[in-house]
Amino acid sequence: MKESEIIEMFLNEFENHKLGDDAGFRKLNDSWLLITTDMLVWKTDVPDFMTPEEVGKKVVTMNVSDIAAMGGKPLSFFFSLAVPRDIKKNILKGIAKGISKGAKEYDIEIVSGDTNEASEIIIDGGALGIARRLLLRRNAKPGDVVCVTGELGRPLLALLLWLRGIDIPKEILEKAKNPKARVEEGLELSEVANSAIDISDGLSKELWEIARASEVKIVIEEEKIPVNEKVAEMSSDPTKIALASGEEFELVFTLPKERTKELSFDFTIIGRVERGRGVFIKRRDKVEKLPILGWEHMTGGLDDKLWKI
Ligand SMILES: [Mg+2]
């Protein structure tokens, strides 16, 4: 079964749920309590260019990023760790150091943990946060501009080079090893944006999530996509890499164009929201439907033969 089929099966069984956004939410006095969980499985999710410390920190970042995408301030981190009996001490120590470093970086407390035995290393993290106003996927409005923070492409290019055994340039490796959650940006956006999502599975997939949840059409322009310079230089199809690259933890958001003036951070306008359905890309003067190029678990992962560098 594919990941999307499993999710659908569970949603069909649950009568009382609020699933379907970056984090769950519950009203708490005048604010919203946010809660999220995101798991990392060593065998499928960790390339060997990452140190255990970087992996530990990334689990914190993955979870904090989902709080940021909801416009929340992260408060707490918790986790469950499963490891094989013969795991090396220095790997465990590295993971612990990484979690600690992540908690420090995002100024959050580690509040709960559990350990268990399994045949491979699994780190299942979670985070709590609080938001004054929720940023949901389902609130994109026709007339909004579609924006993205940062530059795209490095995590996927790093993975492709690694799969082929090619040396990965330092500046490409940097983001794959040490991604950052956009917490400050999310907090600012919570005041002004209509919708947001973080890029965990690739820009194309996240745009489809917003379009589907908001029941709108999104049209982006190929030449506006902020492809990292080194990715553009090294790849024969940089747009495709940028659209598919996951674990970027950049934020994609929509808001009325005049409100973009209120934002103090750097971002790129890549398209607009219209009436209709689906996601489209404008290449020169042709508009075509955008395929979902992002990652899906349980589909055998990344078929690297499909990717030219
Ligand atoms: Mg997310």
Which domains are present in the chain?
22-131 (3.30.1330.10), 137-306 (3.90.650.10)
What pTM did the predictor assign? 0.94
Ligand 1 centroid, distance to 69 Cα (angstroms): 7
Confidence of residue 293 (pLDDT cuts 50, 70, 90): confident
Ligand 1 centroid, distance to 247 Cα (angstroms): 9
The Cα 62–Cα 36 span in angstroms is 10
Ligand 1 centroid, distance to 126 Cα (angstroms): 12
The Cα 133–Cα 25 span in angstroms is 11
- Which residue type does 219 have? V
Bridge-partner residues for 129, per DSSP?
A: 34, 74
Bridge-partner residues for 41, per DSSP?
A: 122
Strands 278-283 and 217-221: parallel
pLDDT cut 70: percent of the chain above it: 95
Token pair of 73, please? 């301030």
pLDDT of residue 306: 59
Q: Which residue has the higher pLDDT, 169 or 300?
A: 169
The Cα 69–Cα 196 span in angstroms is 6
* pLDDT tens digits, one per residue of 187-222: 999 999 999 999 999 999 999 999 999 999 999 999
Ligand 1 centroid, distance to 197 Cα (angstroms): 6
**188 membership: H or E segment, kind and range:** helix 183-192
- Phi, psi (deg, nearest 5) at residue 137: -70, -25
> How distant, in Å, are the alpha carbons of 72, 304, 308 from that of 234?
36, 16, 10
The Cα 54–Cα 228 span in angstroms is 22
